Amino acid sequence: MKKDSAISPFTKKVLKIITSIPAGRVTTYGIIALHAGSSRGARQVARILHSSSRKYDLPWHRVINKDGMISLNPGAGYELQKQLLQEEGVVFDYKDRVDFDFFLWWPGESFTLNKN
């Protein structure tokens, strides 16, 4: 059997996680990177999103930064991502931030409102 590894294990893990994000939920680059094996790999996650989303159809719009905001600059996809998230029911507050208490999703968790 062939391995589809033209990609690294890290990348593969990242892709798996991203494709596992349920609609109407969001996660952060750092969380994905952490589950992929690199707590510092947040940038790589972003890069993988770029590379992969261009070839595959990943729900890249469900990935945002740690502040709960869209990292993309206006004109670079910001409006698109925001719209896509709103289409799925994600709500932005007056500061354009997503409420993590309701929309943050962690790999491996079905729903679980992770409140302390």
Partner DNA sequence: CTCGTGACTCCCG
Partner DNA sequence: TCGGGAGCCACGA
Q: How far apart are CA 94 and CA 108, in angstroms?
A: 30
Q: How far is the CB of 105 from DNA (least distance, A)?
A: 14
Q: How far apart are CA 58 and CA 50, in angstroms?
A: 10
Site for DNA in 8-47 (CB under 7 A): 8, 10-11, 28-30, 38, 40-47
Q: How far is the CB of 49 from DNA (least distance, A)?
A: 5
The radius of gyration of the chain from alpha carbons, rounded to an integer in Å, stands at: 14
The C-alpha torsion from 90 through 20 and 47 to 45, rounded to 10°, is: 90
* Residue 63 makes contact with DNA by CB under 7 A: yes
Binding residues for DNA, rule: CB under 7 A, are 7-8, 10-11, 28-30, 38, 40-51, 53, 60-61, 63, 65-67, 71-72, 77, 81
